[in-house]
Structure 1
Amino acid sequence: MRARLRTVIFGLVLLGFLWLGVGHGPAWALTDEQNLVSEVWRIVNRAYLDETFNHQNWWFIRQRALKQSLNDRDTTYTTIQGMLAVLEDPYTRLLRPEQYRSLQTSTSGELTGVGLQITKGEADNALSVIAPIEGSPAEQAGIQPKDRVLKIEGTDTHQLTLDEAANRMRGPAGTKVTLTLERTDTAEPFEVTLVRDRITLNPVSADLRATPEGLKVGYLRLSQFNANASSELSAAIKRLEKDGADAYILDLRNNPGGLLQAGIEIARLWLDEGTIVYTVSRQGILDSFEAHGPALTEDPLVVLVNEGTASASEILAGALQDNGRAQLVGTVTFGKGLIQSLFDLSDGAGLAVTVAKYETPDHHDINRLGITPDQVVEVKPLGRETFGTGEDPQYQAALELLGSAAVIAGVS
């Protein structure tokens, strides 16, 4: 009887092993292409912010992808993009090796292209401009935040992923690309032909200005949060302090963001203490980043923001506003409150995954809402050459605010 029982149990175990193998196969039987699909699936499964995966059966998505004919790497990339598309999150995306290298280069300080930071609408899938990069062909052509990019060289952008659109705008310096744009205050779409160029990202410009009342104001313009931003801004503040600055204007207009850590480090330049930002994962785990002082200066500070102020710029603006360190002047910011992490893939490609959302120190979730300035000053779109001049109403409002006795006394 015992011998028979052992035989039955062994048979059940064997049947169970065989059944588990049907349709899956042992892990070592996967092809290189299938392994890459599985690698992407595992990263998203572990790290993605939305644990419902946009109310999709994420395991079924994997199985369906693995059953496709993955005969070459391009087909595999297309399959991965289709797998990620079900999430309906434009920020979670595959970066092919050349795209990944380009992104890494841009965050380190240089890129080649037209100089547009773009996003895809979650509801309508429309491609729109976050902000043009300072000094880029896009800015020189007058492209503005919130402009919609309808076509790239005649191709409807609704058909393109975010990275496909970006890739079509990149290219060798000196080559041309034509964009069809739509602007809210114009009746008809219009075309702009841009000449691609090598764009050096110098994130900080600074100078000391004297008002008619004798106030020495350090004007700091920060165009992007790349790897150089914190050290360059620190050096600029120290130089202006040495030159006798009484107060500061930090201009974050049309700054589309960049590295989260750069935003945190720059907030620490201005704050003695306090929370800079909270991050919330899908498990609801709340992490925080704190200032640990001392700040480089205690002088009064006004921050200029607009609809092109996004992502890491909003983290910085929210930290300074909620901690009472600065007053914000301008218009409501862009409203990107999601955080992405970059993951290296085994073939040299990369994967950007939305892993968390952030909240300001006062626990404001600004995604799609933006940050409302303390003083709203509506203006028509300004060119970069107008920023920080007498023809810039938001800058003039900041000067008036700094000149008030209440602000100079440190009362916010």
Structure 2
Amino acid sequence: MSKKVSLGVAASVALIAMAVTFSITMTVSMNMFNNTVSSVKNKERMYNKLSEVDRYVRANEYFDINEDTLNDTIASGYMLGINDKYARYYSAKAYNERMGLADGRLMGIGVAVVKDSSSGYARIIRVYNNTPAAEMGLQTGGFITAIGDTSTRSMTDTSAIQSALVGEEGSTVTIRYLTPDRQEQSFELTRANYTTPSISTVTMLNGNVGYLRMDSFTSTTAVEFRNAVDNLLNQGAAAMIFDLRDNTGENLNAALVAADYCVPSGLIAQSQAKDGTLTDLRVSDDHEVSVPMVCLVNGSTAGGAELFANALRKMGDATVVGTTTAGKGVLLSDPQSLSDGSAVVITVGMLLDNEGQTWNGTGLTPDVDAALSTDEQSSYYDFTPDNDPQINKALTALSGTVSQP
């Protein structure tokens, strides 16, 4: 027999439900309102402070103000103040240059350089094949002492030197050059397009140890890496050394693909959003490199390069040799372009390994310490794979696992 609910009871239930819904809605709305008011007040305080500074400066400053420089510096300062050390502001010029290099509009002369700590000049650490620099006879170990009329000593860092060397295809750049045996020369080079490999050295050491110098992770790394590893294994490599020193690991996906080729099946890495949401970045297939492996790292090994070394150690029993890495274990946004052509990049997640652990802020501690002495540090770019003391440490770490050929 069915029971009938009285109209009064039904009305009471409906009123209670409405009251509960109203209460929840009001609570959520009040929280949203409070957050909005707080945000508005903080923004108002920020704008008021900038306005106060601006009024005083414009009323009293002796020197003229370059408005473009001022706006770029304000935006850059904002990124420096948000507690995200990987956040970056790119001026319209810098962002255009970055995109130009990525899509092939801007060209170079065919060298990789670093700002030499002892001389202050741009030291050439790589000369790429079939480039203007190679055709003119520039050599590894030489120095670019001036670009145009500007001494490279006066340029703040390596990126400033690299920026001065690039330009539109067909444009020219004049450089002053000091050969490795200290002969001064001057060249006018025409900028051209060329391919920059991400793996600069592939060779056999001690007869049966494959060695790869991995300068970077880029869109071409996956194919380069697979071909290089297969080539060395086909030559009879009984072990592998992956040299990741100074590799800043900018292309995270390339690092994941390369790691996938080396390790057995399983989760390689995850990202963690601010709200705690976890996302699998890559799950490896069952292909793996079955010979003993070493990852050679230093304090400039960062990002995707750290992920690669960590994955090979945890999933492929690789030995990490060198010094503690940079500790950059974050997921960065794609550049967000702004209305004036500038752009910003911020951290949007944390990188976690297959065990849910992060190396951000701490870096990877090597299994075998191979710190360079002061004298060795000053000779760092003069070493070859045959006499490099850190590579020798890597070979020693493999000595118990690899038989002599």
Shifted more, 322-331 versus 377-386: the winner is 377-386
Specify the alignment match of 1:313 in structure 2.
Answer: 305
Task: Say whether the 8 Å CA contact 2:88–2:344 is kept in structure 1.
Answer: yes
1:91 equivalent among 77, 86, 107: 86
Task: Say whether the 8 Å CA contact 2:267–2:284 is kept in structure 1.
Answer: no
Unaligned ranges ≥5, structure 2: 1-37, 56-65, 116-122, 129-137, 145-150, 177-186
Q: Say which SS state the counterpart of residue 218 (structure 2) adopts.
A: coil
Residue 403 in 1 paired to residue 403 in 2?
A: no
Q: What TM-score results when the alignment is normalised by the length of structure 1?
A: 0.61
2:75 equivalent among 68, 73, 80: 80
Bigger Cα Rg: 2
TM superposition shift of 1:207: 3.5
Task: Say whether the 8 Å CA contact 2:268–2:284 is kept in structure 1.
Answer: no
1:327 equivalent among 319, 323, 327: 319
Task: Say whether the 8 Å CA contact 2:352–2:358 is kept in structure 1.
Answer: yes
1:383 equivalent among 360, 380, 385: 380
TM superposition shift of 1:332: 1.3
User: What are the superposed Cα offsets for residues 96-125 of structure 1, whole Å, 9 maximum, x if unpaired?
Assistant: 23312332355578864985689xxxxxxx
Residue pairs, 1:235-250, within 5 angstroms: 235-250=227-242
Q: Say which SS state the counterpart of residue 266 (structure 1) adopts.
A: helix
Task: Say whether the 8 Å CA contact 1:309–1:334 is kept in structure 2.
Answer: yes
Residue 293 in 1 paired to residue 285 in 2?
A: yes
1:90–1:288 CA distance, 2 compared to 1 (3 A): same
Specify the alignment match of 2:98 in structure 1.
Answer: 103
Q: Say which SS state the counterpart of residue 272 (structure 1) adopts.
A: coil
Residue pairs, 1:135-154, within 5 angstroms: 135=127, 140=141
Task: Say whether the 8 Å CA contact 1:142–1:383 is kept in structure 2.
Answer: no
TM superposition shift of 1:203: 1.0
Report the Cα distance in structure 2 between the residues aligned to 1:138 and 1:84, rounded to whole angstroms.
39
TM superposition shift of 1:61: 4.0
Residue pairs, 1:140-289, within 5 angstroms: 140=141, 174=173, 201-209=196-204, 211=206, 216-289=208-281
Q: Say which SS state the counterpart of residue 313 (structure 1) adopts.
A: helix
Unaligned ranges ≥5, structure 1: 1-51, 119-130, 144-150, 178-194
TM superposition shift of 1:72: 7.2
TM superposition shift of 1:234: 1.3
The letter of the residue matching 2:313 is Q
Task: Say whether the 8 Å CA contact 2:217–2:304 is kept in structure 1.
Answer: yes
TM superposition shift of 1:223: 0.2
Q: Say which SS state the counterpart of residue 323 (structure 1) adopts.
A: helix
Report the Cα distance in structure 2 between the residues aligned to 1:166 and 1:206, rounded to whole angstroms.
24
Specify the alignment match of 2:181 in structure 1.
Answer: none
Task: Say whether the 8 Å CA contact 1:278–1:288 is kept in structure 2.
Answer: yes
Task: Say whether the 8 Å CA contact 2:270–2:282 is kept in structure 1.
Answer: no
1:73–1:323 CA distance, 2 compared to 1 (3 A): same
Task: Say whether the 8 Å CA contact 1:225–1:259 is kept in structure 2.
Answer: yes
Identity of aligned residues (%): 27
User: What are the superposed Cα offsets for residues 293-329 of structure 1, whole Å, 9 maximum, x if unpaired?
Assistant: 2335322211111122122211111111122431111
User: What are the superposed Cα offsets for residues 239-260 of structure 1, whole Å, 9 maximum, x if unpaired?
Assistant: 2233332221111112122111
Q: Say which SS state the counterpart of residue 103 (structure 1) adopts.
A: helix
Task: Say whether the 8 Å CA contact 2:124–2:141 is kept in structure 1.
Answer: no
TM superposition shift of 1:266: 1.1
Report the Cα distance in structure 1 between the residues aligned to 2:320 and 2:392, rounded to whole angstroms.
13
Larger RCO, structure (CA 8 Å, separation 6 or more): 1
The letter of the residue matching 1:305 is V
User: What are the superposed Cα offsets for residues 177-215 of structure 1, whole Å, 9 maximum, x if unpaired?
Assistant: 9xxxxxxxxxxxxxxxxx99979632113434263xxx5
Task: Say whether the 8 Å CA contact 1:276–1:289 is kept in structure 2.
Answer: yes
The letter of the residue matching 1:368 is G
Report the Cα distance in structure 1 between the residues aligned to 2:272 and 2:140, rounded to whole angstroms.
35
TM superposition shift of 1:95: 1.5
1:101–1:242 CA distance, 2 compared to 1 (3 A): farther
How many aligned residue pairs are there? 313
1:196–1:364 CA distance, 2 compared to 1 (3 A): farther
Report the Cα distance in structure 1 between the residues aligned to 2:279 and 2:330, rounded to whole angstroms.
14
The letter of the residue matching 2:337 is D
User: What are the superposed Cα offsets for residues 254-310 of structure 1, whole Å, 9 maximum, x if unpaired?
Assistant: 212211111111111111223322322222222232332233532221111112212
Report the Cα distance in structure 2 between the residues aligned to 1:367 and 1:348, rounded to whole angstroms.
31
Task: Say whether the 8 Å CA contact 1:226–1:259 is kept in structure 2.
Answer: yes
